[in-house]
Amino acid sequence: MPQLNPDPWFLILSLAWLTYILVLQPKILSNKSMNHPTNKNNEIIKTNPWTWPWP
C-alpha cells in the first residue's frame, strides 16, 4: 500500500500543517460577522429587502 511508504510522510505532514496554518486559517478569519453573538430575541425585526449587487 503506497500510503505506508514512509518516504513522503514528513513532506505531506509538514505541507498539510503549513497550508492549514498559513493559508486556511487567515481565510476563515477574514469572514468577519457584523454583529456580536447574542442570545436569541423573541421579537421579529422587520427589514426591507434590498437589491444585491451582482459580483
Site of interaction with other proteins (CB under 8 A): 1-5, 8-13, 15-17, 19-20, 23-34, 37, 52-55
* Minimum gap (Å) between residue 26 Cβ and other proteins: 7
* CB-based contacts of 34, cutoff 8 Å, min separation 6: none
Distances, alpha carbon 1 to alpha carbons 4, 6, 9, 30, in Å: 6, 11, 13, 39
* Minimum gap (Å) between residue 37 Cβ and other proteins: 7
* Minimum gap (Å) between residue 16 Cβ and other proteins: 4
